[in-house]
Amino acid sequence: MNKYLDISEQVREALAAGKPVVALESTIISHGMPYPQNVETALNVEKIIRELGAVPATIAIIGGRLKAGLSPEEIDYLGRSGSAVAKASRRDLPVLVARGADGATTVTTTMMIAAMAGIRVFATGGIGGVHRGAETTMDISADLEELAQTPVVVVCAGAKAILDLGLTLEYLETKGVTVVGYGTEELPAFYSRKSGFGVDYRMDTPEEIAKAFHVKQELGLCGGMLVTNPIPEEYSMPEDVINSVIDTAVAECAAQGIHGKETTPFLLKRVKELTGGESLESNIQLVYNNARLAAKTAAALAALEENDRG
């Protein structure tokens, strides 16, 4: 085991027993939502996963230690601290660990730490991707590179709608990442169930997803698998409405000269403000929905691995 990694007792026991475990990111706690909704959402996600027979492993960096499995007190600490906690991507890990600092993990670093711990399924809200205007800014999320090299199933509601979804799919195709639509042939767009872009494969059961990833591992292929799970119909926002809001937020972002890792938190905050808070409720509900699918997928994968052990 990596000497900088701490796995909670509950997660360690579950992994040793071959029980399903679901990784969860912490940037959504510190940077994705306001307090106290961030902490309430994080604890509810863990509860949902437990109710479906899996063990949640919220991931973060605390005091320079890579943590797979947080206590409620640690989750509350991240939620209260908010953006004062560093948003930690791959490039930040060595410095934060060396300094004994705290960090909230993005999709990228959650995948990395989950893989170190032996966790194969991860639930999040939406992944990062190719930002609008990337042909001039070169602003492309490290999430896409991580999906290409780290063996974790990532369950999300699609790439964040603030991105260039077409270019994001092209990038994933180039990197050999399989993009699955759960119950759909169309890529969901985070707040909306539709985007106008197709996925690689439609799969209709958690067992089908688990089998495909299991075979990928048996074939010795590197990288993860992206499972896109549409937001529940009742919380979906109309495409034209959310796209208009996003266009406004993107223009404001450019006018203020915001770039790099500050871009996504700024855009999500402005979208929330411009929608009168409606986008926050949608965000919370899609995270819950992804947690359910991830827990079922982790259970199906654990069953396949148990069969392999005889």
Catalytic residue numbers?
A: 25, 160
- Cα 218 to its chain centre, rounded Å, is 24
- Residue 122 sits at φ, ψ, to 5 deg, of -140, 130
Count of CB atoms within 10 A of residue 310's CB? Answer: 4
Question: What beta strand segments (E) does 90-249 contain?
Answer: 103-105, 121-123, 153-156, 178-182, 201-203, 225-228
| Residues paired with 163 in a beta bridge | 131
Query: Distance (Å, rounded) from C-alpha 265 to C-alpha 85?
Result: 13
Residue of 115, 124, 170, 191 lying closest to 146 (CA atoms): 115
